[in-house]
Amino acid sequence: MRPARALVAGAAVATLFLTAACTTDTPTDPADGGGETSAEETDGGEETGGADSEWFVQADYDRQLAQREVVPEGPGEEPWLQAIEPEYVDTAEFASEGGDKTLCFSNASVSNPWRVTGWITMQQQVEVLQEDGLIGEFRVSDAADDDNKQISDIQAFVEAGDCDAIIVSPSTTATLTPAVEAACESGKPVIVFDRGVESDCMVTFIHPIGGYAYGADGAEFLVDNLEPGSKVLALRILPGVDVLENRWAAADKIFSESELEVVGTEFTGGDAAAIKDLVTQYLQRGDVDGIWMDAGDGAVAAVEAFEDAGKPYPVFMGEDEMSFLRKWQDTDMTAIGAVYSNFQWRTPILAAQKIWAGEEVPSEWVLPQAPIEAEELDAYLDANAEMPSLHYAKFGGEDLPGFPEAWTDR
Amino acid sequence: MSTAVATATPTARPTSRRRRRIGSTEIVYLALVGILVVAGVLVAMGGGNLFSTANTAYMLTQTSLLGFVAIGQTFVILCRSLDLSVGYVVALCSIVGATTMAGDPSRVWLGVVAALAAAAGIGLVNGLVVTKLRVNAFIATLGVGLIVKGYLDTQFKGPAGDVPSSFQMFGYTRVGPVPISTIVMLVVAAVGIVLLTRTRQGYHMFAVGGNVDVARLSGIRADRTVIIAHVLCSTCAGIAGLLIAARFGTGNALVYSYGLDLDSIAAVVLGGTLLLGGRGSVAGTVGGVLILAVLDTVFNVLDVDPFFKDVLRGVVIIAAVALYARRQIDPASSRARFRSNRRRDPVRSGARPDPTTTDGGASA
Amino acid sequence: MTATTTREPDAPAPGGDRDEIILRLRGIGKEFFGNSVLRDIDLDVRAGEVHALVGENGAGKSTLMKIIAGVHRPDAGSVELDGSAVTFASPLAAQHAGVSTVFQEFNLLPERSVAENVYLGREPRRAGLVDRGRMHADTNRLLADLGLTGLESHQRVGSLSVAQQQIVEIVKAVSYDARFISMDEPTAALADQEVELLYELVRRLSGRGVAILYVSHRLKEIFDLCDTITVLKDGNHVLTTPTAEIDPDGLVRTMVGREFAGYFPDRDPSIVPGDVRLALDGVGNTQVDDVSFEVRAGEIVALAGLQGSGRTEIAHGIFGVAGFSRGRVLVGGRAVDVRSPRQAVRAGLALVTEDRKAEGLALGQSILANARLVLDAVIPRSADRRARRIPGILSSLELVAASQETEVQYLSGGNQQKVVLAKWLVTEPQVIVLDEPTRGIDVGAKRAVYDLMRELTANGVAVLFISSELPEVVAMADRILVMRDGLLAGQLPAGSDEETVMALATGAGVDSGEHLAVDLGAVSHTDDLPGTDGAGPHPDHPSRSTGPKEDR
Amino acid sequence: MTTVATRRELPVRAPRPSLLERLTAGGSWTVFALLLLVFVLIFVMNPSFAEPSSLMAFVKKAAPLVILAIGQYFVIVSGEFDLSVGSLVGAQVVIAAKVMDGQDELTWPVTALMIGFGLLVGLVNGLVTTLLKVPSFITTLGMMLVLYGAIRLWTGGAPTGALTEQFRQWGRGGIFGEPGQFQVPYALIVVVVLGVLAVLLMRRPFGRTLMATGDNDVAASYSGSPVWWVRTRAFLLSGFMATIAGILIGGYAGVTAQVGEGLEFMAITAVVLGGVVLGGGRGTVVAAMAGALTLEALFTLFNQLGLPSTIRPVVQGVIIIAAVAYAAMPRKARRRRPAVPPPSAAGDAAEPKEPAPTHA
């Protein structure tokens, strides 16, 4: 066997010589910054990230919490066009006459309801611009959560060369950086939204305030509404996704500075059955007074666990997902619907419009992100009355022509 | 699964030069060509060009990752084993590689070695559990996969490590439309072909997969062969992990969710290798991978709904294997046809060779 | 070396060291779990000698072979190779020492070529890579040396005939430069015309000075082929004699301790064939053509012929395994279109297949489960009710096992066959097709089968009896149909002699003289279970009693 | 087999083996021991788990997997695989939600529709595997992809609609007593009923034929068993059980996008944990159910231990391998199974004491 294994190894080696030899379109080394923010090894004992993990960056935390208070610039009735503390960049270089533009969009996936909702909104926005004749072709590659495929997708857009703008919704921050930078170098305007990349080469990076704010909204609500010493259970989807890790990091920080006791932090994979089972078991071992979730998926299952166990409703942090909002209304519990603004899916399209028009856009386009509080609940329920249960209240598509059919009957 | 696969037993292998029938591998490539033609036409009708540099590059890039894994998978499947842990190995190796390199170009080699070593280690464990503990490969590799997953989830939160640009070339450089990674994949494939058709080890893999008792009787260390196959399989997955690292510029634990395990098995079977071992080829596997990649590209170019892709993939895989099964039913004799899906085929497959149990039962 | 010389028993042919003793066993004894299965066995096998090892079921042949092959270690005595004592750690070690054993099961990979099989595990290499050119060249040379022109190193073993596969086995053994080869029933799987090929090979080998230990139940072969005969009985060495100094009857007496006469149950004159139960009318498919015959109630019709002459194909056609594409099949006078065994069973047919293990039994399941299988599969509704008869049937067949829950894989061949028979008897078929029902089972079980056939006819069942063993064909059948090349070659009345049958089967009796020698296989073709040889009456092991005593 | 049986009548049952023998015989006892052990540990960790209501909560959670295990058992024992159950469960829940969309009057019609769909999927799996001779591993893998994609294609990516309370009762509710207090969950009743039916079915002719087919399909077909139809029925049963599991899961936790993911591997693991041999012909349905319970109990134990959830896969993997390895450990040579699928009766019986599995 030895020869054969040697051969394999040899192949790998040979490879690398080849690699070294060839000309390359590798993006510039993202080492700077890359190293820091991307996770290094953490010691095995500490398993759930949190405030003292590499996911917590004090500065970002402080900035985001502050941004919640800032009054955003822009039209109030169109939050997807608002921007917080924008630093505008000139886009004259990309300005071009005429319509019938080719807009290319590399989507991480539509593998969860939040993305599905946003994706519909985006398509509706595109249709509007297609009506206007501004956009000719809207070319989409869906990577189905496969970073590797998304890299290829972006490369393909660059190769094709006929994209008038490239929108990227990265599936993972660190891993997409090289590809996005390659896209930037192609000279086409690149728009990144939702999750970011470790680079500022794109024209604009569109995102709501962010994970820290999201996590803090819920955590602060729990702190305010629970007696000191109350027990809080934190339900998380999965480790390793920066957006989610930031949410927990912020919450963890706030909890650790509060009187509340975090009885557990569990990863549920967003699976309702798992969530219900976990909560049920915690209830068997003792009371749980508050639930913090890093995403709304399956929130209802958690609530039901309390019902089925015959326990009083906890103070609950959910999301602006309709199923939860409706449950919230039915049970009239003390709750908050944290929001990771879904309407951000409109913004990239409109940003492209501006860029083509040569209008300046914020280099980092921070969209407002405000949780749904009890008093706003009914309003949002009415506004989304017909919407399916896995729809997100702050999807911001009410004024689009396709409303509501596009969202109701998919 | 067992019996249905066995239908293949009575087909001619390319090994018989005289009155050689067209082998599975040829079929695979014929299918590939067919698909390319159809796809090319479809894309052309859509006003595109499937064979544009961009699309070709895309297509080939898609082959590299799955290619490495599937080539490795071929070895274990040939040995009548199976590896469901490859996805986790890829993830692990992307991280091991990236963290070892830690952005320092001078540590690239170290990273490569470390990653491949880690991979080989896991392959060794797989092999030992399967052979020494006699755990069904399905469960064994599933379990080992879970263990690796647990380690990854615990130790690494998402992306880790930093790959110097010199090594990122492995992921991005292209010679014409052909990515380096694809070339490397083909090199590995070539090595695999040599291994299987020109080395004793390869011969022994066919033997162990064909009939482990015959292999033992001929002095082949069956366990060792299976273990080596698993080591090779994981090592290939390790190379895939390095490719991931090179393309991501960092390692990423979540790679294990890409479904490489089942995809690779599908590709191998698509490539005409028997799921029950004893017959198959790396060349076929590469063909299978190419077929899947072409489909991916076409779906992409034609902007097919991502979910519809899954449907089509599923259908294509089943259909293809069904076609193989068709032609693998031996027309030679009606009895063979009837017996085709038997598990122990006495004489014709030289079954039951345990020397210690020679009974008077005459074979017919 | 030619046939004539091999037939000179006492005076081995001229030529150097032909008397040199290659393998010498002295006082070999072997016990399994306290009961000895071999006692003080001496055996000398000389260069160029073909040495027959015969004995009844449980006599210890297999154990002895396995000791020689290095599978077992002797508890007592010594094995000497070329005068120096040896102990083989494994069959492989023995092979490398020049002592090869050709077991009954083929140790071949059907997917691989002849060369790859012959050199499996020791492929010639150049620069670390397998030297395929040399491997094939060597194989072809070897084949040429042995005068095997029909074979070619590139052929895929799976595409070869059974005989050719058997020969590849032997070639493989030879390729280890074997000085000593023991063969366990090498012809068991071969049709008579194929046997000649093997004879030729064996003679060439002995001609090259290879010592051959030849285990067979077919006395004809023994007398055709062997120079010396050693008889084992119940683990003891009974006799070693030059072939010329003993005749078949004497040999059978020494090994069986029983006269040949009166071995088959007599025909019961009171049974007169009734209505036609099964009629084939010009049936044919890819394998056979234009076959027409009838089987009446209470009649045993034998279907004789060489292997591959289409006998089994007829059975499979009738039973819908591989149905006929032409002609009609009538069961009980009604034309039936049987497309599957299921329909066949429904039509009142039963088929005891020739390949017990592969086609007859679910080895991992219990005796009861197997005996119920047809009922469960075809008539589930009344299965439970009708299954109540099974215990009675099993005991009437004198099946021997610890309990109904015993998995059939732990039964002897004879008892397994009884399970198969029970499985069909419980369905009360009108017509039963027996394909080689006595193959590979011991004397006692064979007798049980013969008795059963008579009993069936007494109950008005029509029996179609396929067999390669002429004595039983001649002794049991009311009529004998002979197949040749997929066609019905002719029909013979009861009591026709074997010569006539064979002549018809081989076609105009071309060199049928070869086949005239009486074949007592029917008597002595016993079931050599290693378990039987090995474990003896070990508690964990029922098949002991399938020994010679069973039919007393 | 304890005596040289020369008597004429066969005893119906083998003489009772010694306790030790029974304890160490076969794979399936391992699972019961493990199950017991895990439960004891849980009780020690958390006595409140022993309370009826806690146990019932556990049952609700475990029921779907147990039922999936039953279905998977039929397929595996017949010598096949069903990888499609996971996405079938998911599909069923989504279908239910979308079609009934919270309208009570649709509850029963939709339930019927789901069962129909489940059977249809099973039928396709079965026919493709048996008639088109596609290895079931591939068939069901393809089906898995098809279902996954088709359902999302149909619902535009995220489940829509809602389940009716009435529908959800099956997985959520129970009889006797109020929600919140002790209740006997419907899930428990469903499991018990299906379990008993499964056991009975395996004692019926169909069960025996299924078993024999998994052991040696050629012999089975020569005995008049319609192998293709026997196996297809196994897949039909699997599809049916997956549907029931879907109904229970949907009832238990409602609709989410992820529902059902990974269940196929859980189910197969459970069955194998129960000592059922991949490749067919061996194992009991009760053991398979016990395997499922053990798996669920393990997860509960992990919680009780407060085991970091990221480490759980490690423990799970180790335990599964260990359990199967133990069951595969050669006690008697004949107990051995080849380490790679499919386990054939062939191979390792090497001891001379081994009664020769006679073979042609």
CA distance C428 to C198: 42
Tens of pLDDT, residues A246-279: 999 999 999 999 999 999 888 888 888 889 999 9
Q: Which of B322, B352, B358 sits opposite D128 (nearest CB)?
A: B322
Residue D289, pLDDT above cutoff 70? yes
Which pair of structure tokens corresponds to residue B289?
A: 């991978």
User: C363 vs D357: CB contact, 8 Å cut-off?
Assistant: yes
Tell me which residue in A16, A146, A160 faces B112 most closely, judged by beta carbons.
A16
Instruction: Decide if pLDDT at C163 tops 90.
Output: no
Q: CA angle, D189 as apex, D184 and D194 as ends, to 5°?
A: 165
Residue window 154-193, chain C: list those with CB within 8 Å of chain D. Answer: none
Q: What is the pLDDT of residue C431?
A: 94
- Which residue is closest to A170 within chain B, CA to CA? B248
Dihedral, CA of residue C467, residue C471, residue C472 and residue C474, to nearest 10: 90
Partner residue facing B165 (CB), from A4, A14, A26? A26
Instruction: Answer whether residue D335 shows pLDDT above 70.
Output: no
What chain A holds in terms of domains, given with CATH numbers, is 75-209+341-370 (3.40.50.2300), 211-338 (3.40.50.2300)
Query: What one-letter code names the amino acid at A132?
Result: D
CATH of domain D27-330: 1.10.3470
User: Residue B253 pairs with which residues in a beta bridge?
Assistant: none
Task: Give the residue among C218, C256, C244, C261 at the shortest CA–CA distance from C55.
Answer: C256
Residue range(s) occupied by CATH 3.40.50.300 in chain C: 3-98+177-256, 276-348+429-519
Interface contact B157-A30, CB threshold 8 A = no
Closest to C358 (Cα-Cα) out of B341, D206, D352:
B341
3-state helix/strand/coil string of C409-458:
HHCCHHHHHHHHHHHHHCCCCCEEEEECCCCCCCHHHHHHHHHHHHHHHH
| Domain range list for chain D | 27-330
Residues on chain B touching C112 (C-beta within 8 angstroms): 13, 15, 206-207, 210
- Which whole number is the average pLDDT over C341-352? 93
- Burial letters B305-325, b for 16+ CB under 10 A, else e: bbbebbbbbbebbbebbbebb
**Average pLDDT value for residue range C257-286:** 78
Chains that touch B (3 or more CB pairs under 8 A): A, C, D
**What is the reported pLDDT for D358?**
30
If one compares A50 and C108, the residue with the highest pLDDT of the two is C108
pLDDT in tens, B299-351: 888 888 888 888 998 998 899 888 887 765 443 332 222 222 223 322 222 22
- Domain assignment of residue B247, yes or no: yes
Tell me, what amino acid is at C48? G
DSSP C234-290: TTEEEEEEEGGG--HHHHHHHHHSS-STT-SPPP-TT----SEEEEEEEEE-SS--S
Closest-CA distance of chain C to residue D32, Å: 23
Average pLDDT over residues A39-64: 66
Among positive and negative, which fits the CA dihedral D50, D55, D61, D66? Answer: positive
Least CB–CB distance from A15: residue in B165, B184, B228: B184
The pLDDT value given to residue B41? 92
Which is nearest to A339 in space by CA: A250, A244, A210, A195? A210
Phi first, then psi: what are they for C280, rounded to 5°? Answer: -105, 135
Q: What is the pLDDT of residue C538?
A: 39
Question: C188-202, D9-23, D170-184 — which is least confidently predicted?
Answer: D9-23
- Mean pLDDT to the nearest integer, C75-101: 88
d(CA A78, CA A350): 12
Chains touching chain A, criterion 3+ CB pairs below 8 Å:
B, D
Residue B21 maps to a domain: no
Out of A155-159, B70-74, B288-292, C294-298, least confident range = A155-159
User: With a cut of 0.85, is the ipTM above it?
Assistant: no
Q: Which of D14, D220, D358 sits opposite C373 (nearest CB)?
A: D220
Separation between Cα atoms, residue A349 and residue A134, nearest integer Å:
11
Around Cβ D42, how many Cβ atoms within 10 Å?
Answer: 21
Query: What is Dmax (Cα atoms) for chain C?
Result: 78
Amino acid at A85: E
| Contact list, B356 vs chain C (CB under 8 Å) | 66, 71, 530
Please state the CATH superfamily assignment of the domain spanning residues C276-348+429-519 in this structure.
P-loop containing nucleotide triphosphate hydrolases (3.40.50.300)
How confident is the model at residue D26, as a pLDDT? 52
- Using the beta-carbon criterion (under 8 Å), do A284 and D46 form an inter-chain contact? yes
Q: Between the CA of residue C257 and those of C521, C544, D194, what are the distances in Å?
A: 15, 18, 61
Q: Between B53-78 and B180-198, two packed helices, what is the crossing angle to 10 degrees?
A: 30
B361 interface with C at CB cutoff 8 Å: yes
CA distance D190 to B330: 47
Angle at CA of residue A49, ends A43 and A50, nearest 5°: 130
CB contact under 8 A, D158 and A113: yes
Report CA-CA distances (Å) from A231 to A223, A226, A265, D46. Answer: 11, 9, 12, 18
Q: Which residue of chain D comes nearest to A306, CA vs CA?
A: D180
| Chain B, nearest residue to A171 by Cα | B254
Query: Is residue C484 over pLDDT 90?
Result: no
Mean pLDDT of A45-73: 80
- pLDDT confidence of residue C57: 58
Strands (E), C310-375: 326-331, 334-336, 349-352
Q: Are D129 and D80 spatial neighbours (Cβ–Cβ below 8 Å)? A: yes
- The mean of the pLDDT values for chain B is 81
pTM: 0.84
Query: Is the model more confident about A33 or about B176?
Result: B176
Domain count, chain B: 1
**Residue B298, in any domain of the structure:** no
Alpha helix (H) residue ranges in D78-183: 85-100, 107-130, 136-155, 165-172
Q: Is the dihedral of CA D194, D200, D203, D206 positive or negative?
A: negative
Residues 448-507 (C) with a CB less than 8 A from some CB of D: none
Interface test with B, best of D336, D340, D351, D359 (most B CBs within 10 A): D340
Radius of gyration (C-alpha) of chain A in whole angstroms: 23
Q: Which of A154-158, C43-47, D37-41, D330-334 has the lowest mean pLDDT?
A: D330-334
| Nearest neighbour of C413 by CB, restricted to B353, B355, B360 | B360
Which residue of B166, B195, B309 is in closest CB contact with A7? B195
Most confident of the following: B136-140, C85-89, C501-505: B136-140
Chain C partners (3+ C-beta pairs within 8 A): B, D
- Whether the pLDDT of residue B21 is over 70: the answer is no
Predicted pLDDT of residue A316: 94
Residues C408/C367, Cβ–Cβ less than 8 Å: yes
Mean pLDDT of B99-127: 94
Residue C347 has pLDDT above 70, yes or no: yes
Looking at residue C468, its amino acid is S
D155: amino acid identity, one letter: T
**Domain for residue B102, yes or no?**
yes
Considering chain C, what percentage of its residues have pLDDT values greater than 90? 30
| CA nearest to B350 within chain C | C106
A-chain residues within 8 Å CB-CB of B255?
147-148
Which pLDDT belongs to residue C358?
Answer: 85
Question: Can the peptide bond before residue A27 be classed as cis, meaning omega within 30 degrees of 0?
Answer: no
pLDDT exceeds 70 at position D293 = yes
Contact A303, A327 (CB under 8 A): yes
Contact C543/D1, CB-based, under 8 Å? Answer: no
Note the CATH number of domain C3-98+177-256: 3.40.50.300
- Which contacts (CB < 8 Å, 24+ apart) does range D46-50 have? D46/A284, D46/A285, D46/D304, D48/A284, D48/A285, D49/A284, D49/D300, D49/D304
- Give the separation between CA A153 and CA A142, rounded to whole angstroms: 8
In chain C, residues with a C-beta closer than 8 Å to the C-beta of D204 are 380
Distance (Å, rounded) from C-alpha B110 to C-alpha C337? 73
pLDDT of A66 over the 70 cut: yes
Checking if the pLDDT of B7 tops 60, the result is: no
Rounded to an integer, what distance in angstroms lies between the CA atom of residue C301 and that of residue C478? 6
**Residue B343, in any domain of the structure:** no
Query: What are C191's two structure tokens?
Result: 């049709």
Which range (A357-371, C79-93, C182-196) has the least confidence? C182-196
**Domain span at B160:** 62-283
Q: Supply C144's token pair.
A: 């040429």
